[in-house]
Structure 1
Amino acid sequence: MNSDVPIPRNHANLREFVTFLERKGQLTRVARPVSLVHEITEIHRRVLDRQGPALLFENPVDGSGRTHAIPLLANLFGTRERIEWGLGLESGGLPTLANLLADLRGPQPPKSLSDAWRQLPHLKAALNLNTRSVSRAPCQERAWRGHEIDLDHLPIQTCWPGEPAPLVTWPLVITRAPDDPDDINVGIYRMQKLGRDRLIMRWLAQRGGARHHRMWQAAGQDMPVAIAIGAAPATIFAAVMPLPDGMSELGFAGLLKGKRQDVTAGLTVPLPVPAEAEIILEGTVSATETAGEGPYGDHTGYYNSVEDFPVLTLSAITMRRDPLYLSTYTSRPPDEPACLGEAMNVLFLPLVKRQFPEVADLWLPPEACSYRAIVVSIDKRYPGQARRIMMGLWSMLPQFNYTKLIIVVDRDINVRRWPDVIWALSTRFDASRDVMTVDKTPIDYLDFASPKSGLGGKLGLDATTKIGSETDREWGKVLTMAPDVIKRIDTIWASLGIGETLP
């Protein structure tokens, strides 16, 4: 890897980021023809598992044996370092962004002139929250309408055996409310290919796109939609971040870039689209027509069941003259969504601390599909505090609404180290006293363990030291060595002949 390549403050588009990664030695071009049916998934899976580079498949081949002219880009966000670079940050720079996001959700007034001066970068960043409209956009250099529209021209993957059709996996779906053009949402929802100009739009009921669709349905109208494939990294990240209510993802992308997001009007739909995107799909989501979607491999590590979702009919496909097609797969972690989930963990922590100052640390284990379990450590001060934290987390962020298990520990426990967590559970938890259950709550409908689709239970385990009215027994004292002994052994360690590295 070339460490001498400086990290740009922003990447205006996907191809700039690809060029940067190649200069860094973090992108591999695959010239050999590789099948879109399963083979790219298997290569991607192996490379991601060893934290390898991004992959540019220059000659993807579809199921009929045809080689596509559009290259496929995969494993773009397969490491935390590439996620940080995509945000224009140095390696390890996510906490800086996390604090900015916390300030945006709950701004604090400056306490002094010097404090106001320190907040000036935040004020400058806020100026980039408004988008900028442009009339000539790279994403519309080529345009297909009417009979020209054919999704077969795009290298859409079939990721796993048994899947019914190719699947669009990294689409930024742009929707708006029928009565408020400023109420715009950008979300990532997978889409099954249904025909040359038709896709199935799969979204969960609580997501912004589904909310907009219900509003259009209530008005008896099909909903206009635009889909960006291959946007700038900041635009992709904005679509998955825990933004404050009412904040535009397109606007927030400008804040991440350090410059306002350029948008242009769709050719056939009344929606703004990222001007620098590689490919744009435009069309309408039917108010009435649905089709069975799936089964597809999902982040749970299982195939989801077949369910009906609304049908999207395309009215235009626009793109750059030489576009890139961004794709990924989902599976039991590790996968790219899990990598993004670990980055989101860093962003969640300051938000949680702002709401609950007693929280010391928080961890969403990627093995738990990014958000289904939380381990949280607290500075415990009063009886019942662990349960208060459980209830607060379950209701705080949409992502935590689906968390099935919360383990609360004391601040002396490393939440990222399972041996520490298991020790706390084994010595500070009693099943007759320290279990909190909540039934009939929202659950990810892809969770087959829940008794009903989308409705299930939550479990909280209090593995903290019990204080006050929580116990009638004298609590044990944790074994610790005297500090002066530790210091003395540190001093003589090198002379013991045991090893060079201190334990």
Structure 2
Amino acid sequence: MAYGTLRAFLKALEKEGDLRRVRVEVDPYLEVGEITDRVNKSGGPALLFENVRGSAMPLAMNVFGTDRRMLKALGLKSYAEISDKIGGLLKPELPHGFSGLREAFGKLGSVAHIPPKKVSNAPCQEVVRTGDAVDLDAIPALHTWPDDGGAFFNLGLTHTKDPDTGVRNLGLYRLQRHDKRTIGMHWQIHKDSRNHYQVAARRGERLPVAIAFGCPPAVTYAATAPLPGDIDEYLFAGFVQGKRVEMVDCKTVPLQVPAEAEVVLEGWLEPGVMRDEGPFGDHTGFYTPMEPFPALTIDCVTMREDPLLQSIVVGRPPT
């Protein structure tokens, strides 16, 4: 079975000697990225930076940096194990005879108990800061490559809802920290969340957004999976981890986030409010250019009493 929280997975890795604590001070400007990139390319362990300059939050890196760790996080022996199960659910064959019918009902039963579960109290809301108390500079963001346009949150899971249908979307997009209360939302034209924003903007309405960090591994995996549009990412995450994902209502926006997340940002996208975002050293090995993208104002930050952040290094060194 998959690990239900990020910190439970980190604890298991440390017990196995597959996590290294880094207690000396490290700089989120280039240094964290360089260390992580070097360790990752050598097949090294997950890293927990306990003293990141400018922040009191520990920073977990290279957590899913090997196939072994990724599979362990999801409770799998191989990627084929999950692809076979997913294929059987998304493209079921017509049942043949009584035994086939019984098998088909068994498949349906395997997902009937895993829809997300709403809870009223959550670890991710042990601390709540609103308004002027919001300070994104206190949360470690990485300036990974020399010509990046600023510091970025690279593993925040963005939650939005379709203004027409109310169907939620969970996506992984890079997020540039513009200042203490503003984030740049980099989403391409084909992304669901961008479509949600466009629908709201055409109506002159603002769009609620929530961004969760340090989520259960299956949730992070679900945010990156190429799922059909009618498959809820949290149903999929529950399917992967074998139990329901607990969700909690946000404090200031009409959205839900994983109760076991480490840090959550809440805010509203006003129609037409844009700021230049980038450049950014991307996975292609090149810098994406500076372009205007929607600017999200953060009105509320919730977190655990002792939060940690998880991030990643995006791409190879750009040229």
Q: Which has the larger displacement, 244-253 or 119-128? A: 119-128
The secondary structure found in structure 2 opposite 1:83 is helix
The secondary structure found in structure 2 opposite 1:280 is strand
**Could you tell me which residue of structure 1 aligns to residue 205 of structure 2?**
221
1:138 to 2:123 alignment? yes
Which residue among 145, 151, 162 is the counterpart of 1:166?
151
TM-fit CA distance, 1:116: 4.4
Structure 2 counterpart of 1:326, which letter? Answer: Q
Which residue among 69, 93, 99 is the counterpart of 2:84?
99
TM-fit CA distance, 1:69: 1.5
Contact 2:19 2:46 (C-alpha < 8 Å) held by counterparts: yes
What is the percent sequence identity of the aligned residues? 38
Distance, in Å, in 2 between the alignment partners of 1:24 and 1:115 is 42
Which residue among 203, 228, 232 is the counterpart of 1:248?
232
TM-fit CA distance, 1:120: 5.8
Distance, in Å, in 1 between the alignment partners of 2:70 and 2:113 is 21
**Could you tell me which residue of structure 2 aligns to residue 186 of structure 1?**
170
The secondary structure found in structure 1 opposite 2:280 is coil
How many residues are matched?
319
Distance, in Å, in 1 between the alignment partners of 2:105 and 2:45 is 37
Structure 1 counterpart of 2:152, which letter? Answer: L
Which residue among 12, 26, 34 is the counterpart of 1:34?
26
TM-fit CA distance, 1:321: 0.7
Deviation string, structure 1 residues 365-396 (Cα, Å, up to 9, x no partner): xxxxxxxxxxxxxxxxxxxxxxxxxxxxxxxx
Distance, in Å, in 1 between the alignment partners of 2:266 and 2:46 is 28
Which residue among 61, 65, 85 is the counterpart of 1:74?
61
Task: Extract structure 1 runs of 4+ deviating beyond 4 A.
Answer: 116-121
Structure 1 counterpart of 2:41, which letter? Answer: D
Judged with a 3 Å threshold, the aligned counterparts in structure 2 of structure 1 residues 172 and 56 are, in CA distance, closer, same or farther, namely same
Deviation string, structure 1 residues 279-321 (Cα, Å, up to 9, x no partner): 0000011211111111111001111111110000011000011
Which residue among 29, 51, 56 is the counterpart of 2:43?
51
TM-fit CA distance, 1:261: 1.0
**Greater Cα radius of gyration, structure 1 or 2:** 1
Judged with a 3 Å threshold, the aligned counterparts in structure 2 of structure 1 residues 113 and 50 are, in CA distance, closer, same or farther, namely farther
Contact 1:100 1:122 (C-alpha < 8 Å) held by counterparts: no
**Could you tell me which residue of structure 1 aligns to residue 186 of structure 2?**
202
**Could you tell me which residue of structure 1 aligns to residue 216 of structure 2?**
232
TM-fit CA distance, 1:45: 0.8
Question: How do 1:258-407 and structure 2 match up within 5 A?
Answer: 258-332=242-316
Deviation string, structure 1 residues 29-71 (Cα, Å, up to 9, x no partner): 111111111111111111111111110001111xxxx4x2210
Deviation string, structure 1 residues 213-243 (Cα, Å, up to 9, x no partner): 1111121111000000110010011111122
1:175 to 2:160 alignment? yes
Distance, in Å, in 1 between the alignment partners of 2:12 and 2:104 is 31
Distance, in Å, in 1 between the alignment partners of 2:227 and 2:173 is 17
Contact 1:128 1:251 (C-alpha < 8 Å) held by counterparts: no
Structure 2 counterpart of 1:235, which letter? Answer: V
Distance, in Å, in 1 between the alignment partners of 2:98 and 2:10 is 42
The secondary structure found in structure 2 opposite 1:180 is coil
Distance, in Å, in 2 between the alignment partners of 1:113 and 1:87 is 33
Structure 2 counterpart of 1:249, which letter? Answer: E
Contact 2:114 2:242 (C-alpha < 8 Å) held by counterparts: no
Judged with a 3 Å threshold, the aligned counterparts in structure 2 of structure 1 residues 237 and 202 are, in CA distance, closer, same or farther, namely same
In angstroms, what is the RMSD of aligned CA positions?
A: 1.7
Distance, in Å, in 2 between the alignment partners of 1:140 and 1:162 is 36
Judged with a 3 Å threshold, the aligned counterparts in structure 2 of structure 1 residues 128 and 208 are, in CA distance, closer, same or farther, namely farther
Question: How do 1:104-115 and structure 2 match up within 5 A?
Answer: 104-115=89-100
TM-fit CA distance, 1:99: 1.1
Distance, in Å, in 1 between the alignment partners of 2:251 and 2:165 is 20
Distance, in Å, in 1 between the alignment partners of 2:89 and 2:211 is 27
**Could you tell me which residue of structure 1 aligns to residue 136 of structure 2?**
151
TM-fit CA distance, 1:129: 4.1
Distance, in Å, in 2 between the alignment partners of 1:136 and 1:25 is 33
Higher normalized contact order (CA 8 Å, seq sep 6+, divided by chain length): 2
TM-fit CA distance, 1:162: 2.1
**Could you tell me which residue of structure 2 aligns to residue 14 of structure 1?**
6
Distance, in Å, in 2 between the alignment partners of 1:36 and 1:124 is 46
Unaligned runs of 5+ in 2: none
Contact 2:213 2:261 (C-alpha < 8 Å) held by counterparts: yes
**Could you tell me which residue of structure 2 aligns to residue 85 of structure 1?**
72
Distance, in Å, in 2 between the alignment partners of 1:26 and 1:123 is 37
TM-fit CA distance, 1:110: 2.2
Contact 1:105 1:243 (C-alpha < 8 Å) held by counterparts: no
Contact 1:296 1:303 (C-alpha < 8 Å) held by counterparts: yes
TM-fit CA distance, 1:121: 5.5
Contact 2:2 2:217 (C-alpha < 8 Å) held by counterparts: no
What is the TM-score of this pair, normalised by structure 2?
A: 0.96
Distance, in Å, in 1 between the alignment partners of 2:260 and 2:13 is 18
